[in-house]
Structure 1
Amino acid sequence: MSLASDIMNIALWIAFGAVALAQIMAMIRLVIGPGVVDRILALDTMAINAIGLVVLLGIAQGTAIYFEVTLIIAMLGFVSTVAYARFVLRGDIIE
């Protein structure tokens, strides 16, 4: 293995650790969150962290299929955040 490959593997492991730590911290904010707004932001942050983890997994395995999965997760995360925020503000999602 070359030096560039070793550095890439180390960078991937550090990135996995950082994003996993961010995901755990967002889960803690989701549970502890003093307000509803904090919980909504924690859910949105968790969706973004999930996207990051899937992208890192795709880079580590060298396949492109994971990037299509991230698009689906991004769309679902956006729609769920908007729906939850509308529910909190108005009491219903669909008028």
Structure 2
Amino acid sequence: MTDITVVLPGVLQPLAGGQSVLTAPADGPMTVEKLLDSVTSGYAVLARRLRDETGALRRFVNVYVDGDEVRRLRGLDTEVVPGQEVLIVQSVAGG
């Protein structure tokens, strides 16, 4: 069994106990949705920062699987396989 790695930006790390990388075990393909469920299971505030009440990604949260933004793929249904890196980027709004 190989892990799938989720890399968090500095702004989200305090919500994950200071960790910059979270991992989820996977013995085959899984979706981004299931991956986020797995890595945020112990971090309720992080989970709420990434997804809204309906489970959709928040507007200013971008998730990349091996460099491809998931909204341009299959969204939360995008498959992730062991060994791939998932990067979460939280956009900063302002002017």
Establish whether TM, by shorter chain, passes 0.5. Answer: no
RCO (CA 8 Å, sep 6+): is it higher in 1 or 2?
2
TM-score (norm 1): 0.28
Q: Which has the larger radius of gyration?
A: 1
- Greater share of helix: 1
TM-score (norm 2): 0.28
- Greater share of strand: 2
